[in-house]
Structure 1
Amino acid sequence: MIRYSHQRRLRAGLFGMAVLAAGLPAMPASAADTVLNETGSTLLYPLFQRWVPAYAAVRPEVKITTAATGSGVGIQAAIAGTAQIGTSDAYMSDEEAEHNRQIISVPLAISAQTINYNIPGAGSTALKLDGTILAGIYSGRITQWDDAAIVALNPNVKLPHQQIVPIRRDDASGDTFVFTQFLDFANQKWEDSIGYGTAVTWPTVSGERGAKGNDGMVKTIAATPYSIGYVGISFHDDATKAGLGTVLLKNQSGKFVLPSAETVSAAAATLDPRTPPDERLSLVYAPGDQSYPLVNYEYAMVSIDQPNAGTADAIRNFLLWSIAADGGNAATHLDAVGFIPLPDFIRALSEKQINRIK
């Protein structure tokens, strides 16, 4: 099992905030006509699709390509040097960070994940679920929608006696990292037997189905009656258009909350200046009555050692623009995909990491 240190988990005592802004230095002539390749997170992909043309208007001499290949691919592409920017919803594991000290994990924004389901005839009903029930579904211990544990949380909802079909990612995915980390934090049985990561050894569950990417998750859930799955929030509009329900998820304080700008911000507001300088920290299962529990950083994985000054300058300037409050972190970009901007303290840490790129 890939290991992530216990200190990287965002528990009740590891949160807070502070203040600083990001600027964009002038682009030297040596960076002209530079091509930067980004690949990785399917959750970040819709944001990069907005960023690329916006940045082209600022720096037309820098060409950026972007591809939704999954967080696992993004991390490995950065390590292998096959892409200048690898993106991921998960930070590098302790082993990856130890063996690849030239790679930094830089938060670009804060996002979240939704739990969506397809129950024919349920309409706009928002079911209440918790980590223990979700762990039971994905481990095969809870198999029917009218299971007593689900009924107990939803006494006024007519639940069908139908088999639950869990949908999970087939590819190495930061969404899987966030989802399984929530199950790990919320349920001792899951922690003891499965754990978390961009890929895990899923228990065999009757009827289960796999999908690739967030787009594939939405399409598979929509095409599979009585299914449930986890989806990056940048695809929430797609899930809604597909007629999928969204779960009210139980947070660490015992409250049931939907993902929204307010509940994601409430979780992010508990960030602490003790966030480590390398910024590899989980935001999952944050405390607070209004905190949504499936919240995460969106990371850029980048080598601090670039082949030439022009490429280093191009990468630095793009990343500084992407985290700037008047650049990529502006509401005009983030609101469209359900993300929220970095708190100023975290932006300052990201700036410090970015400025290591040479």
Structure 2
Amino acid sequence: MNCIRTIVAAGLVAASTSAFAADITGAGATFPFPIYSKWADAYKKETGNGLNYQSIGSGAGIKQIQAKTVTFGATDAPLKHETLEKDGLVQWPMVMGAIVPVVNLEGIKPGELVLSGEVLGDIYLGKVKKWDDAAIAKLNPKLKLPSDAITVVRRSDGSGTTFNFTDYLSKSNAEWKAKVGSGTAVEWPTGVGAKGNEGVAGNIGQTKNAIGYVEYAYAKQNKLTYAAMVNKAGKTVQPTIAAFQAAASNADWSKAPGYYVILTDQPGEASWPITAATFILMHKDATDKAASQEAIKFFKWSFEKGGKMAEELDYIPMPESVVKLIEKTWSSEIKS
């Protein structure tokens, strides 16, 4: 966990030392925390302004923005148009990334283990209990798999990462869809709970024979062993920026009310199957309009100058055409 916490700490220092000057507060998703922290640090150095962002999970972030206790909320589980209208909120995608299965298996290197959505669903249903189960062995004929029991790790908090992960399982495993379904929090059939992407990453790193799911930056920064996946086209793909972009290229943001787009299980031979966008929520008519406008300045700066930083952490910047749509949304829907 040390590596990811260093990134997080850098962002929090930038946030906390200038929160009083800028008075921008945000809370929510852990999925984008590494890049939000990096942006916050760079923005403070350039402008002298910062933000205070709490990485507490999408569910809690939604509750905080609905309660008007923060300037913005952050979620990987987008709200539907009806909910946005009811709560007087505006929503837009900020950056895209990917979720990867991670394991702690002795002798297995990153990308060597291959999993499918069907098998992953069966593991999380508790049907596939051991690493040398025939379903896993069939996908990995050349790997020597241990006969040990699988320790399943999942999120304990309301989570947008969980929303996208369970959405993918629902699309690729019929029994999972029927018995569990998708959501920011579900009735898990099995597994040990951990809080945040940080908690899951830490648990996997410390637990032999464990499997979990995290945003890719957490896997990379914590040097966790990620799995390759069989995608919708039946091709085995590695988690790479090119595979994430291949999935993201299917998105049609212009026709989606509230930019409600889910990127899991997209078509294309090169597509990573568990790709996701992460979203910002703000009030159309904020109580603290000065803080609201300061937040918009930060987001505008992040779109304009943060793309390279996002790519360095294996996130996908929003396309310029989408950024232009978002800027029009700010102008038309957020009162200054």
Both proteins in one fold, TM over 0.5: yes
CA–CA separation in structure 1 for the residues paired with 2:114 and 2:201: 20
Residue 46 (structure 1) aligned with residue 34 (structure 2): yes
CA–CA separation in structure 2 for the residues paired with 1:201 and 1:174: 15
Contact 1:273 1:345 in 2 (8 A): no
Cα deviation for residue 94 of structure 1 reads 6.1
**Which residue is equivalent to 2:239?**
259
TM-score by length of 2: 0.88
Cα deviation for residue 124 of structure 1 reads 4.8
Flag the 1:187–1:274 CA change in 2: closer, same or farther, 3 A. Answer: farther
SS at structure 1 position matched to 2:202: helix
CA–CA separation in structure 2 for the residues paired with 1:125 and 1:104: 38
Amino acid at match of 1:341: P
- Unaligned 5+ runs, structure 2: 1-19
**Stretches of 4+ aligned residues off by more than 6 angstroms:** none
Percent identity reads: 32
Q: 1:211 pairs with 190, 194, 197, which one? A: 194
**Which residue is equivalent to 1:348?**
324
Cα deviation for residue 87 of structure 1 reads 1.0
Residues 326-351 of structure 1 show CA distances to partners (whole Å, capped at 9, x for unaligned) of: x22x21x1123210111233222322
Residues 158-193 of structure 1 show CA distances to partners (whole Å, capped at 9, x for unaligned) of: 111111111000011111011101101111111122
Whose relative contact order is higher, 1 or 2, with alpha carbons under 8 Å and at least 6 apart? 1
Residues 117-155 of structure 1 show CA distances to partners (whole Å, capped at 9, x for unaligned) of: 011233456111111111101111111111111111111
SS at structure 1 position matched to 2:222: helix
CA–CA separation in structure 1 for the residues paired with 2:43 and 2:313: 17
Cα deviation for residue 70 of structure 1 reads 0.9
SS at structure 2 position matched to 1:312: helix
**Which residue is equivalent to 2:62?**
75
**Which residue is equivalent to 2:9?**
none
Flag the 1:144–1:42 CA change in 2: closer, same or farther, 3 A. Answer: same
Residues 192-244 of structure 1 show CA distances to partners (whole Å, capped at 9, x for unaligned) of: 221111111111x3xx211111111111011111110001112122332xxx3
CA–CA separation in structure 1 for the residues paired with 2:266 and 2:260: 15
Aligned length, in residue pairs:
315
Residue 236 (structure 1) aligned with residue 219 (structure 2): yes
SS at structure 2 position matched to 1:253: coil
- Unaligned 5+ runs, structure 1: 1-31
Flag the 1:166–1:35 CA change in 2: closer, same or farther, 3 A. Answer: same
Residues 58-89 of structure 1 show CA distances to partners (whole Å, capped at 9, x for unaligned) of: 432x4411121111111111111111111112
- Map 1:101-112; keep pairs closer than 5 Å: 102-112=88-98
Q: 2:312 pairs with 330, 333, 336, which one? A: 336
Cα deviation for residue 310 of structure 1 reads 2.2
Cα root mean square deviation, aligned: 1.8
Cα deviation for residue 262 of structure 1 reads 0.7
Amino acid at match of 1:335: E
Cα deviation for residue 308 of structure 1 reads 4.6
**Which residue is equivalent to 1:55?**
43
Residue 198 (structure 1) aligned with residue 201 (structure 2): no
Contact 2:311 2:317 in 1 (8 A): no
**Which residue is equivalent to 1:158?**
144
Residue 118 (structure 1) aligned with residue 104 (structure 2): yes
TM-score by length of 1: 0.83
